[in-house]
Amino acid sequence: MAQVYISIGSNIEPNRYIRAGLADMEENFGTLTLSTVYESEAVGFKGDNFYNLVARFETDWDITQVMRTLRLIEEHNDRKRTDKRFSARTLDLDILLYDDLIIEETVPRDEILKYAFVLLPLSEIAPNLKHPVTHQTYAELWRDFDQKGYELWRVEGF
């Protein structure tokens, strides 16, 4: 069984779409381990704040099946793809890690090392897991992360 970590984000009706997306993920992948939900400002464009969290599950599906299913879940939750990388979205589901697999420009997802809203929730649910490229634990990576300019707020009662 592969351990899979997914970054989840939304800035359009985030309570609605994240809850619906999590329900769809549980239906497809079974039990999920979830981080705290964090709110942060939009990155790369002006827009409403995002809610972000990380989910973990185990699966015997290959990475292609997982990716395909995540795209279907996004579509089921009204995700509209545009040519803009940074834009508002109902639901964004990205594979951060698939075991210790390394596929250039796919996994591990480079956002892990770039954005607090990805690294902090990942470090919560996998503090002792090691990044397959840097070989540092996610707790170490978060401890050493330059947090200047990044504000995250815990979303209570999610």
Residue 117: its H or E element: helix 116-125
For residue 32, what are the CA distances in angstroms to 12, 23, 57, 59, 138? 23, 10, 5, 11, 19
Reduce the DSSP state of residue 50 to 3 states and report it. strand
Residues near 43 by Cβ (< 8 Å), separated by ≥ 6?
50, 86, 115, 117
Q: Is the pLDDT of residue 55 over 90?
A: yes
Q: Does 100 have pLDDT greater than 90?
A: yes
pLDDT at 85: 61
Can you give the residue range of the structural domain that contains 36? 2-154
The predicted pLDDT at position 45 comes to 74
Task: Give pLDDT tens digits for 111-144.
Answer: 999 999 999 999 999 999 999 999 999 999 999 9
Quote the pTM value: 0.94
Per-residue pLDDT tens digits for 59-77:
999 999 999 999 999 999 9
Question: Is 70 exceeded by the pLDDT of residue 86?
Answer: no
Q: How confident is the model at residue 43 (pLDDT cuts 50, 70, 90)?
A: confident
**pLDDT of 149 strictly over 80:** no
pLDDT at 3: 98
Structural domains in the chain (count): 1
The CATH number linked to 80 is 3.30.70.560
Bridge partners for 103 per DSSP: 107
